[in-house]
Protein backbone atom coordinates (compact mmCIF):
# COMPACT_ATOMS: atom_id res chain seq x y z
CA UNK A 1 0.00 0.00 0.00
CA UNK A 2 1.46 3.36 -1.03
CA UNK A 3 1.32 6.12 1.53
CA UNK A 4 1.68 9.86 1.21
CA UNK A 5 1.07 12.62 3.72
CA UNK A 6 -1.93 14.78 2.93
CA UNK A 7 -1.66 18.55 3.26
CA UNK A 8 -4.23 20.15 5.48
CA UNK A 9 -6.40 22.92 4.09
CA UNK A 10 -5.77 26.34 5.55
CA UNK A 11 -8.40 28.04 7.69
CA UNK A 12 -10.29 30.73 5.78
CA UNK A 13 -9.66 34.22 7.05
CA UNK A 14 -12.54 35.85 8.96
CA UNK A 15 -13.32 39.51 8.64
CA UNK A 16 -14.83 41.69 11.33
CA UNK A 17 -17.95 42.37 9.28
CA UNK A 18 -19.40 40.25 6.52
CA UNK A 19 -22.48 40.40 4.36
CA UNK A 20 -25.17 37.70 4.52
CA UNK A 21 -23.86 36.18 1.29
CA UNK A 22 -20.27 36.17 2.57
CA UNK A 23 -21.39 34.57 5.84
CA UNK A 24 -23.11 31.79 3.95
CA UNK A 25 -20.01 31.18 1.84
CA UNK A 26 -17.80 31.21 4.94
CA UNK A 27 -20.02 28.70 6.74
CA UNK A 28 -19.91 26.43 3.71
CA UNK A 29 -16.11 26.59 3.67
CA UNK A 30 -15.82 25.91 7.41
CA UNK A 31 -18.21 22.96 7.36
CA UNK A 32 -16.48 19.58 6.96
CA UNK A 33 -16.51 19.03 3.22
CA UNK A 34 -17.06 15.43 2.18
CA UNK A 35 -14.60 15.82 -0.69
CA UNK A 36 -11.82 16.47 1.87
CA UNK A 37 -12.33 13.18 3.71
CA UNK A 38 -13.93 10.85 1.20
CA UNK A 39 -14.06 10.15 -2.49
CA UNK A 40 -16.64 12.57 -3.94
CA UNK A 41 -17.93 9.82 -6.25
CA UNK A 42 -19.63 8.01 -3.37
CA UNK A 43 -20.43 7.77 0.30
CA UNK A 44 -20.51 7.29 3.20
CA UNK A 45 -23.67 9.38 3.17
CA UNK A 46 -25.51 11.67 5.52
CA UNK A 47 -29.18 10.81 5.97
CA UNK A 48 -30.04 14.22 4.53
CA UNK A 49 -28.11 13.45 1.34
CA UNK A 50 -29.59 12.10 -1.86
CA UNK A 51 -28.03 8.64 -1.71
CA UNK A 52 -28.44 5.48 -3.84
CA UNK A 53 -31.25 3.15 -2.86
CA UNK A 54 -29.78 -0.11 -1.57
CA UNK A 55 -30.95 -2.87 0.71
CA UNK A 56 -29.64 -1.83 4.12
CA UNK A 57 -29.91 -3.03 7.71
CA UNK A 58 -31.17 -0.29 10.03
CA UNK A 59 -28.94 -0.06 13.10
CA UNK A 60 -30.37 3.31 14.14
CA UNK A 61 -27.53 5.77 13.61
CA UNK A 62 -26.03 3.49 10.95
CA UNK A 63 -27.76 2.06 7.90
CA UNK A 64 -25.44 -0.58 6.49
CA UNK A 65 -25.71 -2.17 3.01
CA UNK A 66 -26.20 -5.93 2.75
CA UNK A 67 -24.91 -8.26 0.05
CA UNK A 68 -24.44 -12.00 -0.49
CA UNK A 69 -21.77 -13.45 1.77
CA UNK A 70 -21.87 -10.71 4.40
CA UNK A 71 -22.41 -11.44 8.08
CA UNK A 72 -23.45 -8.87 10.68
CA UNK A 73 -23.01 -8.72 14.42
CA UNK A 74 -23.69 -6.08 17.07
CA UNK A 75 -20.96 -5.73 19.67
CA UNK A 76 -22.06 -4.78 23.18
CA UNK A 77 -20.47 -2.92 26.07
CA UNK A 78 -21.47 -4.19 29.51
CA UNK A 79 -23.41 -1.68 31.62
CA UNK A 80 -24.23 -4.12 34.41
CA UNK A 81 -22.50 -7.25 35.72
CA UNK A 82 -23.43 -9.97 38.21
CA UNK A 83 -21.51 -10.92 41.36
CA UNK A 84 -19.10 -13.02 39.32
CA UNK A 85 -18.40 -10.23 36.88
CA UNK A 86 -20.41 -11.66 34.01
CA UNK A 87 -22.32 -9.10 31.90
CA UNK A 88 -26.08 -9.17 32.43
CA UNK A 89 -26.98 -5.98 30.59
CA UNK A 90 -25.30 -3.78 28.03
CA UNK A 91 -25.60 -1.29 25.22
CA UNK A 92 -24.71 -1.75 21.55
CA UNK A 93 -21.49 0.09 20.69
CA UNK A 94 -20.40 -1.18 17.27
CA UNK A 95 -21.57 -2.95 14.14
CA UNK A 96 -19.32 -5.73 12.90
CA UNK A 97 -19.43 -6.59 9.19
CA UNK A 98 -17.88 -9.96 8.37
CA UNK A 99 -16.89 -11.28 4.95
CA UNK A 100 -14.97 -14.53 4.53
CA UNK A 101 -11.74 -14.10 6.58
CA UNK A 102 -12.21 -10.36 7.04
CA UNK A 103 -14.04 -8.11 9.46
CA UNK A 104 -14.83 -4.38 9.63
CA UNK A 105 -16.04 -2.64 12.77
CA UNK A 106 -18.20 0.46 12.29
CA UNK A 107 -18.94 3.18 14.84
CA UNK A 108 -20.47 6.65 14.41
CA UNK A 109 -19.76 9.55 16.76
CA UNK A 110 -21.01 13.10 17.21
CA UNK A 111 -18.67 15.80 15.90
CA UNK A 112 -18.48 19.61 15.98
CA UNK A 113 -20.57 21.46 13.44
CA UNK A 114 -17.66 23.25 11.78
CA UNK A 115 -14.74 20.85 12.13
CA UNK A 116 -13.97 17.15 12.00
CA UNK A 117 -12.30 15.00 14.66
CA UNK A 118 -10.39 12.44 12.57
CA UNK A 119 -7.11 14.39 12.55
CA UNK A 120 -7.00 14.53 16.36
CA UNK A 121 -8.31 11.00 16.83
CA UNK A 122 -5.79 9.63 14.36
CA UNK A 123 -2.89 11.18 16.26
CA UNK A 124 -4.25 9.87 19.58
CA UNK A 125 -4.70 6.39 18.14
CA UNK A 126 -1.14 6.33 16.77
CA UNK A 127 0.26 7.46 20.13
CA UNK A 128 -1.76 4.85 22.03
CA UNK A 129 -0.64 2.04 19.73
CA UNK A 130 3.03 3.01 20.00
CA UNK A 131 3.18 3.77 23.73
CA UNK A 132 0.62 1.39 25.27
CA UNK A 133 0.41 -1.52 22.83
CA UNK A 134 4.11 -1.41 21.87
CA UNK A 135 3.04 -1.48 18.24
CA UNK A 136 4.14 0.19 15.04
CA UNK A 137 2.11 2.53 12.87
CA UNK A 138 2.24 3.84 9.32
CA UNK A 139 0.14 6.80 8.24
CA UNK A 140 -0.95 7.31 4.67
CA UNK A 141 -3.64 8.17 2.17
CA UNK A 142 -6.45 5.75 1.32
CA UNK A 143 -9.69 5.85 -0.66
CA UNK A 144 -11.43 7.76 2.15
CA UNK A 145 -8.59 10.12 3.04
CA UNK A 146 -5.90 9.85 5.73
CA UNK A 147 -5.71 6.48 7.49
CA UNK A 148 -3.51 4.41 9.77
CA UNK A 149 -2.02 0.97 9.33
CA UNK A 150 -0.89 -0.56 12.62
CA UNK A 151 1.00 -3.68 13.65
CA UNK A 152 0.40 -4.74 17.24
CA UNK A 153 1.51 -7.90 19.06
CA UNK A 154 -1.41 -10.25 19.75
CA UNK A 155 -1.03 -12.64 22.73
CA UNK A 156 -1.45 -16.29 21.80
CA UNK A 157 -2.43 -17.79 25.14
CA UNK A 158 -3.95 -21.24 25.44
CA UNK A 159 -7.33 -19.63 26.00
CA UNK A 160 -7.04 -17.50 22.86
CA UNK A 161 -5.93 -20.47 20.76
CA UNK A 162 -8.77 -22.63 22.12
CA UNK A 163 -11.37 -20.04 21.02
CA UNK A 164 -10.00 -19.81 17.46
CA UNK A 165 -11.66 -21.79 14.67
CA UNK A 166 -9.56 -24.79 13.64
CA UNK A 167 -8.88 -23.38 10.16
CA UNK A 168 -7.41 -20.17 11.66
CA UNK A 169 -5.38 -21.92 14.37
CA UNK A 170 -3.81 -24.30 11.87
CA UNK A 171 -2.51 -21.36 9.81
CA UNK A 172 -0.51 -19.83 12.69
CA UNK A 173 3.22 -20.47 12.24
CA UNK A 174 4.74 -22.67 14.93
CA UNK A 175 7.29 -20.00 15.93
CA UNK A 176 4.46 -17.60 16.82
CA UNK A 177 2.84 -20.22 19.04
CA UNK A 178 6.18 -20.93 20.73
CA UNK A 179 6.92 -17.27 21.44
CA UNK A 180 3.35 -16.67 22.66
CA UNK A 181 2.39 -13.83 20.33
CA UNK A 182 1.78 -13.01 16.68
CA UNK A 183 1.80 -9.74 14.74
CA UNK A 184 -1.70 -8.40 14.16
CA UNK A 185 -2.29 -5.89 11.35
CA UNK A 186 -5.14 -3.42 11.81
CA UNK A 187 -6.32 -0.70 9.42
CA UNK A 188 -8.01 2.41 10.80
CA UNK A 189 -10.15 4.58 8.50
CA UNK A 190 -12.21 7.65 9.28
CA UNK A 191 -14.70 9.90 7.52
CA UNK A 192 -15.69 13.34 8.86
CA UNK A 193 -19.28 14.15 7.93
CA UNK A 194 -21.71 16.96 8.82
CA UNK A 195 -21.80 16.83 12.66
CA UNK A 196 -20.74 13.17 12.68
CA UNK A 197 -17.65 11.03 12.37
CA UNK A 198 -17.65 7.48 10.99
CA UNK A 199 -14.88 5.19 12.17
CA UNK A 200 -14.00 1.91 10.46
CA UNK A 201 -11.49 -0.65 11.74
CA UNK A 202 -10.50 -3.42 9.33
CA UNK A 203 -8.85 -6.69 10.26
CA UNK A 204 -8.13 -10.03 8.63
CA UNK A 205 -7.47 -11.04 5.03
CA UNK A 206 -8.82 -7.74 3.62
CA UNK A 207 -5.60 -6.03 4.78
CA UNK A 208 -3.81 -7.65 1.83
CA UNK A 209 -6.54 -9.40 -0.17
CA UNK A 210 -7.84 -6.82 -2.66
CA UNK A 211 -10.97 -8.82 -3.50
CA UNK A 212 -12.09 -9.06 0.12
CA UNK A 213 -11.20 -5.42 0.78
CA UNK A 214 -13.25 -4.30 -2.23
CA UNK A 215 -16.35 -5.94 -0.73
CA UNK A 216 -15.82 -4.11 2.58
CA UNK A 217 -15.00 -0.85 0.80
CA UNK A 218 -18.29 -1.05 -1.11
CA UNK A 219 -20.11 -1.58 2.20
CA UNK A 220 -18.39 1.46 3.73
CA UNK A 221 -19.23 3.61 0.71
CA UNK A 222 -22.89 2.64 1.01
CA UNK A 223 -23.27 3.41 4.73
CA UNK A 224 -25.81 6.09 5.66
CA UNK A 225 -25.23 7.95 8.94
CA UNK A 226 -28.31 9.21 10.79
CA UNK A 227 -27.03 11.98 13.06
CA UNK A 228 -30.33 13.27 14.41
CA UNK A 229 -31.03 16.79 15.65
CA UNK A 230 -30.30 16.32 19.36
CA UNK A 231 -27.25 18.25 20.62
CA UNK A 232 -24.42 15.92 21.66
CA UNK A 233 -20.87 16.48 22.93
CA UNK A 234 -18.21 15.71 20.30
CA UNK A 235 -17.02 12.08 20.36
CA UNK A 236 -20.18 10.79 22.01
CA UNK A 237 -21.23 7.52 20.39
CA UNK A 238 -24.35 7.81 18.26
CA UNK A 239 -27.04 5.44 19.49
CA UNK A 240 -27.28 2.03 17.86
CA UNK A 241 -30.23 -0.34 17.81
CA UNK A 242 -30.86 -3.95 16.81
CA UNK A 243 -32.41 -4.35 13.33
CA UNK A 244 -35.73 -6.17 13.13
CA UNK A 245 -34.02 -8.75 10.89
CA UNK A 246 -32.04 -9.92 13.93
CA UNK A 247 -35.21 -10.94 15.77
CA UNK A 248 -36.80 -14.34 15.29
CA UNK A 249 -39.89 -12.82 13.74
CA UNK A 250 -38.05 -10.57 11.31
CA UNK A 251 -38.24 -11.88 7.77
CA UNK A 252 -37.33 -10.07 4.58
CA UNK A 253 -37.76 -11.12 0.97
CA UNK A 254 -33.99 -10.95 0.48
CA UNK A 255 -33.15 -12.54 3.81
CA UNK A 256 -31.02 -15.17 2.09
CA UNK A 257 -28.55 -12.41 1.22
CA UNK A 258 -27.91 -11.64 4.89
CA UNK A 259 -26.20 -14.02 7.27
CA UNK A 260 -27.07 -12.78 10.75
CA UNK A 261 -25.28 -13.66 13.98
CA UNK A 262 -26.36 -13.80 17.61
CA UNK A 263 -25.85 -10.14 18.66
CA UNK A 264 -24.68 -11.21 22.13
CA UNK A 265 -22.10 -13.65 20.79
CA UNK A 266 -18.51 -12.57 21.19
CA UNK A 267 -17.05 -11.46 17.89
CA UNK A 268 -13.50 -11.07 16.54
CA UNK A 269 -11.22 -8.95 18.68
CA UNK A 270 -10.90 -5.53 17.03
CA UNK A 271 -9.31 -2.55 18.70
CA UNK A 272 -12.02 -0.15 19.84
CA UNK A 273 -11.21 3.56 19.88
CA UNK A 274 -13.34 5.73 22.12
Mean pLDDT, the chain cut into blocks of 10 residues (274 residues total): 34 39 39 38 88 93 95 87 74 94 96 92 95 92 96 85 74 81 92 97 95 97 95 95 74 42 38 34
Distance of alpha carbon 102 from alpha carbon 211, whole angstroms? 11
Cβ 91 vs Cβ 74: under 8 Å: no
pLDDT of res. 164 = 73
Q: Is residue 2 part of a domain?
A: no
**pTM for the complete prediction?**
0.73
Domain around 239: 34-259
For 165, phi and psi rounded to 5 degrees?
-60, 150
Cβ 23 vs Cβ 162: under 8 Å: no
Q: Is residue 211 part of a domain?
A: yes
CB proximity list for 83: less than 8 A, separation 6 or greater: none
CB proximity list for 270: less than 8 A, separation 6 or greater: 96, 103, 105, 186, 201, 203
pLDDT of res. 248 = 52
pLDDT of res. 37 = 38
pLDDT of res. 134 = 87
Q: Is residue 266 part of a domain?
A: no
Q: Is residue 70 part of a domain?
A: yes
Distance of alpha carbon 231 from alpha carbon 27, whole angstroms? 19
Q: Which residues lie across from 141 on neighbouring strands? A: 146
Q: Is residue 129 part of a domain?
A: yes
SS3 175: helix
How many domains does one find in the chain?
Answer: 1
Q: Is residue 271 part of a domain?
A: no
Q: Is residue 205 part of a domain?
A: yes
How many residues are recorded in the chain? 274
Q: Is residue 56 part of a domain?
A: yes
Amino acid sequence: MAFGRRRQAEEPAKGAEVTEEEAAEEAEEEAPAKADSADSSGGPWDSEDSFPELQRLDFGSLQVPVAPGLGFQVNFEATQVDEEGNPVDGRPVAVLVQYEESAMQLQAFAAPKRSGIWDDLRRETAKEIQEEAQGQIQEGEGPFGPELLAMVPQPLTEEVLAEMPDEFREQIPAEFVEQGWAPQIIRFLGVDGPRWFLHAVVQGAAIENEEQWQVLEDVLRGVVVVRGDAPMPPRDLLELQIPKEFSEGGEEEDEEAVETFDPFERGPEITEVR
